[in-house]
Amino acid sequence: MKLIIFGAGASYYSLHTKYNSNSSENELWKPPLANEIFSNRVNFIEILKNFDGAMSLKSQAILHPDLEEYFQELWDFANDNNDNLSFAKIINTQYFLQKLFMSISDQYGNLGDSNYDVISNFANNYSICKKSEILFVSFNYDILLERALERVLKIKFNSIDDYLKYNIKYIKPHGSCNWFRNFGRRIGKGSIGSITGINPEFFTKKLYEGSTSYEIIEQNLNEEFVLRNQFNTNEHFGLPQLLIPIKNKDEFVLPPNHFEYLENYLEKVEEILIIGWKGTEEKFKNVLRNKLKDKNVNIIAITNGDKTIISQIRDVIPNSKISLYSYKPSIDYKGNTDTFTNFIKTQILQRNSPTFFFK
């Protein structure tokens, strides 16, 4: 069975043709790589201004060479010193990331033709022909891939169960900008009033101002994951379910049945396609190791020439045959190489020869 893993590079190069190649909007809403989250794009700043805690971190975060290390240092300081203010800034950043990547999902997918559309079509056709499920695993917060699947398959992601409902199953180990867990009770010392019926920005601001601890928040969260494309003033408010990029705090943010499905599916995997993923998520690598360490798995990695994935995969699947895809990379409109788009083209042009989807 086939597994496709999407990293940040997949969303970064998710459009193969821009409707207006001269439009600055293409760059404004391009999904950021990790170190670009606090960049000075004007639209990012306008969103960031609504989140005081995240904004207070920007000046230092943008100077740090590794954003994950920066958040690791902040997380360690908060834990070592029981500093609720630092925790509150991290929590506020979760709300900022939710808003940022939802906005990106709303804007960027409408700016051009999508590689995600094409690969969703390929996967669906393969699934139909082989009468086999196929699994997508994405480490991206955005929902550009969900939108592509909805367009291509005429489906809807209306609930968390829909991610495992169709022939293309979809797992997001680090959460998603449209995933929440609702608060079941009041938070803090009653200073923010009722959880329902207030402006969501006001709620987030008060949550930060009260320096509400992770422990208190976790105690008051419902277990159920719910989907929400935006805050609504008459809904219960919740905590965005996405993992802050912390170096050594790799964990899964997904419903238990999603993890169970992932483990069961991996036992049957024979081929893996990796797009824009460096392979540095330790918990996911441990799952791969537990399920695939003794198997001969064929792997194609599309990483724009980054060879990090080779050592990462060989460490967990030593018997795998991994090849970097580097066939005459396309050049995007800024002059950057784009092996994702070129891979899509070769799948189309060589469909009468053995490829990942056509055999």
DSSP 204: H
Q: Is residue 95 part of a domain?
A: yes
165 and 189 part of one domain: no
124 and 272 part of one domain: yes
What residues contact 217, with CB distance under 8 A and at least 6 apart? 91, 183, 187, 239
315: domain CATH number is 3.40.50.1220
227 and 167 part of one domain: no
310 and 328 part of one domain: yes
Write down the residue that tokens 């320096």 correspond to.
Answer: 211
Single out the residue in 224, 242, 260 at which a domain terminates. 242
192 and 217 part of one domain: yes
Measure the CA–CA gap between 54 and 37, rounded to whole angstroms: 11
205 and 294 part of one domain: no
User: Tell me, what's the pLDDT at 229?
Assistant: 67
Measure the CA–CA gap between 34 and 120, rounded to whole angstroms: 25
Looking at the structure of the chain, the number of domains it has is: 2
User: Tell me, what's the pLDDT at 332?
Assistant: 45
117 and 261 part of one domain: yes
186 and 103 part of one domain: yes
202 and 56 part of one domain: yes
Q: Indicate the pTM of the whole model.
A: 0.90
181 and 235 part of one domain: yes
125 and 42 part of one domain: no
Q: Which helix H or strand E contains 135, and what residues bound it? A: strand 134-138
> What is the full per-residue pLDDT of the chain (359 aa) written as tens digits?
999 999 999 999 998 876 665 566 678 899 998 889 999 999 999 999 999 999 999 999 999 999 999 999 999 999 899 888 898 899 999 999 999 999 999 999 888 889 999 999 999 999 999 999 999 999 999 999 999 999 999 999 999 999 999 999 999 999 999 999 987 755 544 434 444 444 556 667 777 777 667 777 777 788 999 998 654 444 557 889 999 988 776 789 999 999 999 999 999 999 999 999 999 888 999 999 999 999 999 999 998 878 889 999 999 999 999 988 865 544 443 444 568 888 888 877 666 555 777 66
Q: Which two tokens stand for residue 116?
A: 């995600």
231 and 138 part of one domain: no
Provide the residue range defining the domain that includes 118. Answer: 2-17+113-176+251-349
